[in-house]
Amino acid sequence: MVKKIICALDTNNLDEAVRVVKQLAPHVGAFKIGHGLTLPYGLDVLDRLRDAGAARIFLDLKFHDIPNSVALAVGEAARRGVWMMTLHTTGGPAMMAAAVSEARESAEGTGPLLIGVSVLTSLDQHTLTDHLGVNRSIEDHMVYMSRLALDLDLDGVVCSPQEVKAVRKAIGHGVIVTPGIRLPNGDHHDQMRVGSAGQALDDGADYLVIGRVLTNCDDPEAVLAKLGFESAHHA
């Protein structure tokens, strides 16, 4: 098992998600779900996936609303026992502080890991600057927002492979979750800022989010080997 890999269940078909979990649970450390599964099935989908073998679930709903609304959402997710969840750092300090407070109060034990999202991996510099009005470079903006998130006691941040090194230097111990991992010469799909598994880990990523490369494969061990995970690194 490669505990550093989080498999993204990018589907709205629960039967398909259950099949993938059963196939990949021995090989990966966690599974990520988003709106595709939670909107049609609600948070009861968490129990269905756990029954299929998903010991750790990353709830990637990227909460972004007024502080009270986000606190209510985070509290419910925490009570459902999710391992990790996301919220948009652009919601501001009050929203992030409310999320942290609610997560710690609502869950038994340590509660879920709260992970901040600043710049989606589908965005490039042109979109960030010309359409969203952010005049920093993507890297500078990621560093600034990541520091803010950690200062407000979030557990970590999401960033693409291209910003991992700079973000790691900026936030020190915080958790870094990195999507956009591709095989050599692999299709970028809808993500703009991508990279390799090995480089992301070398630069300081803690977890790698990998979707279609794994969920569409017949031989998970062969795919993991192509990504650079030999048996000695299965930890």
Residues 6+ apart with CB under 8 A from 223: 183, 213, 214, 217
Distance CA 235, CA 232 (A): 8
Cα–Cα nearest to 94, from 130, 137, 148: 148
Q: At 189, list the tokens.
A: 């799909």
Structure tokens at 215: 């969920």
Bridge partners of 33, per DSSP, are 59
Say if residues 87 and 60 touch (Cβ distance below 8 Å). Answer: no
Q: Report pLDDT for 124.
A: 93
How far is CA 112 from each of CA 7, 42, 81, 212, rounded to the nearest angstrom? 18, 18, 7, 25
Cβ 104 vs Cβ 111: under 8 Å: yes
Please state, in angstroms and rounded to a whole number, the distance separating the CA atoms of residues 133 and 60: 25
- What domains lie within the chain, and their CATH numbers? 2-229 (3.20.20.70)
Identity of the residue numbered 211: G
CA distance linking residue 189 with residue 87, whole number of Å: 23
pLDDT along the chain (235 residues), means of 10: 95 97 97 98 98 98 98 95 97 98 83 95 94 97 98 97 96 95 65 82 97 92 89 42
Our CA angle for 60, 65, 66, nearest 5°, is: 140
β-bridge pairing 207-210 and 156-158? unpaired
Which residues are designated catalytic? 62
How many contiguous H segments (helices) and E segments (strands) does the chain have?
Answer: 11, 8
Give SS3 for 46: helix
| Distance (Å, whole) CA 52 – CA 46 | 10
The pLDDT of residue 187 is 57
Q: Nearest to residue 210, comparing CAs of 16, 20, 13?
A: 20
For residue 127, CA distances in Å to 23, 57, 79, 120 come to 38, 31, 37, 11
User: Given the structure tokens 């919220």, which residue do they identify?
Assistant: 87
Does pTM top 0.75 for this prediction? yes
